[in-house]
Amino acid sequence: MNRSSVFRSAVAACVCLLILNALPACSPLPEPAQIPTNRAAGENMPQTTLPAGVTAATQPATVPTTDAPAQTGPAAETSTSAPAQKNAADFSNPGIIIGVEYASPGMAAKYSELGITGVKPYPSDFKWGVMQSGQCAKINFDTLDQFVAEYQNAGFRDIMLPLHPACGWANVNSVTNFTPKPKFTGHFEKWVSAVVERYDLDGNADMPGLRYPVNLVEIGVEFSSFEPEPAADYIKMLERAYKAAHAASKTVKILHSAFLAGSAFITDPGPGEYEAAFAAADKRIMYHSLADIRQVLDRPDIFDIVNFHALCYPGEIEQTVRWLKYEMGLRHYSKPVAVSDTSVNPFLGYGSALKTEGDAGQLAILSPPAKEEDRERLKAYFLRLINGDETAIAWVHTFCATDMVKKIFLSAHAGVLTINTAFMEEFAPSKSMLFGAAAGNSIWSGIMLTSVKPFSNQRMIEEVRPAFYAIGQAASRLKNCTSVVKVDSGDENVLIYRLIGNGGFVYVAWYEPDILILPGDSVPGKNVAFTGLGEKAVIEEMIGTQGQTQPARSVLSAQNGSVTVRLTYVPQYIMPG
């Protein structure tokens, strides 16, 4: 769900922005141990057995064992070449850069244990008006230099830098239009140019100690109420920024302000249906229309990467990429696609979870699989979280890990260039009854719980959540992957991806139910027979329990050439034994 307000929190800024906008009393504004990355099968892994007494929910489905050629039948596989980690700005080969957001000082060393290369800071830290206090003031790079130095020294090669154009002294309007006044367009271009030049590692006016070029630069932070000006005004600003950035650097890649369209895909529309789907989307999210978005897409000469945010259910990623490829195809061009912001599936947002009746415009917007009949159950669930119920909190932390892992693999298969997983830290005040869980699960989705050192902005890590280890586990599985193949099991709720690399393969698989699962519910699943794994198969569980730093594994013997695995909504890794 979208996020909109007037201040930034010290931790999950976008969550708090959504919450404050959603409060009925507010007027809406426009607006662990290190994860090894090349561990051999079974090395340093505890061996466990599957729970006894598991029964089949349905008859087993058989998974093909070889890579079938593309076809339309039930055994079809679709493939995307996807080496998981790449050098900075290496766009010559397909692949995915896994990142984390939103980064604050003091967290780089711990997050470097994930073995990933991408990171994104809070956009509010580097607003134009924050970096340049007046038209005659020098641009202040101190905070940005400190951020770049800390994270590059920790091994983060692929910093994504969001340039927020908000600037009180220069904007057309500091609330409704963040584009520069005509007399300040030159100042805006100089700011963009100076930032790009300082971090491009070309030997000219570079930051002292710069280790890698910062080549991923966003102009604006989200094409929503965060970028409230008319589309035509934004496009003029983007054009100026693009020219200024490319004049300063030969390697910079410009991302336009990210599209926010997840709620338009709830009905899974296709060509000929997109217009109606976007028109039906809740205007609290669709601040800019499909026509506005298409105006941006009409100008491929002023951006290098197509950019969107994935803040709802995992499936929106493949739906959005499919739509963007359709739109680019109509315009006869092809560009890389980035998921510059994510959030776990909130189940609901843009309204209090505790309000279940009334005008639709005052109720929280639901995110699949949540349905209207689930509102009372969701209210009870979020009350448990607000009141600190330990069982519910443990459940949501596991859920957040599963949701982010799914988004990683769906993005890898869709051919996404980069995805930033979220959120690096949790904002505890937003969990109070006052906020009414108005951003849903995302309030409890902090990968870590942190505190702030007195008289500084440095973070101290208080607790590491399961999502940290689950993201590292997923990244390690993609580390040397050369291809991601989607296996069609004949059941749209059974999602299986074959990760191929280093002469071997691993399946990642899960069952995606159509119903809302909450703590205490029976967990639906499906038994799936995997063949071609040899005499034995290793089943690696996703790391999802608080305090767990390594995945549990079990070894199953093949029966009649196949191994049957019960899939649930929690991803599992299946590999030859």
User: Which residues make beta-bridge pairs with 452?
Assistant: 459
Q: Which helix (H) or strand (E) holds 21?
A: helix 13-22
Q: What is the 3-state secondary structure (H, E, C) of 387-439?
A: CCCHHHHHHHHHHHHHHHHHHHHHHHHHCCCEEEECCCCCCHHHHCHHHCCCC
Is 458 exposed, middle or buried, given 0-12, 13-18 or 19+ CB atoms closer than 10 A? middle
391-401-353-21 Cα dihedral, nearest 10 degrees: 140
Query: Is the distance from CB of 534 to CB of 495 less than 8 angstroms?
Result: no
Structure tokens at 345: 């599936």
pLDDT tens-digit readout, 257-313: 999 998 899 999 999 999 999 999 999 999 999 999 999 999 999 999 999 999 999
Q: How many angstroms separate the CA atoms of 511 and 198, rounded?
A: 47
Q: Count other C-beta atoms under 10 Å from residue 81's C-beta.
A: 13
Q: Which helix (H) or strand (E) holds 152?
A: helix 142-153
* Mean pLDDT score across all residues of the chain: 86
Q: Are β-strands 348-349 and 365-366 bridged in parallel, bridged antiparallel, or unpaired?
A: antiparallel
- Res 6: pLDDT: 27
Q: Count other C-beta atoms under 10 Å from residue 380's C-beta.
A: 14
- In residues, how long is the chain? 577
Q: How many angstroms separate the CA atoms of 96 and 530, rounded?
A: 27
Q: Are β-strands 306-310 and 253-256 bridged in parallel, bridged antiparallel, or unpaired?
A: unpaired
- Res 1: pLDDT: 44
- Res 543: pLDDT: 98
Residues of the chain with pLDDT under 50: 1-94
- Give the residue among 127, 124, 113, 117 at the shortest CA–CA distance from 152: 117
pLDDT tens-digit readout, 21-42: 443 333 332 332 222 222 222 2
Q: Residue 305 carries which DSSP code?
A: B
Is 218 exposed, middle or buried, given 0-12, 13-18 or 19+ CB atoms closer than 10 A? buried
First to last CA, the chain: 41
Only one residue has tokens 């071997």, namely 504
- Give the residue among 389, 374, 473 at the shortest CA–CA distance from 431: 389
- Res 45: pLDDT: 28
User: Residue 62: left (phi > 0), alpha (psi -120 to 50), or beta?
Assistant: beta
- Res 428: pLDDT: 82
Q: How many angstroms separate the CA atoms of 553 and 547, rounded?
A: 16
Q: What is the 3-state secondary structure (H, E, C) of 344-378?
A: CCCCEECCCCCCCCCCHHHCCEECCCCCHHHHHHH
Q: How many angstroms separate the CA atoms of 12 and 424, rounded?
A: 8
- Res 71: pLDDT: 29
- Res 278: pLDDT: 96
Query: Is the distance from CB of 574 to CB of 537 less than 8 angstroms?
Result: yes
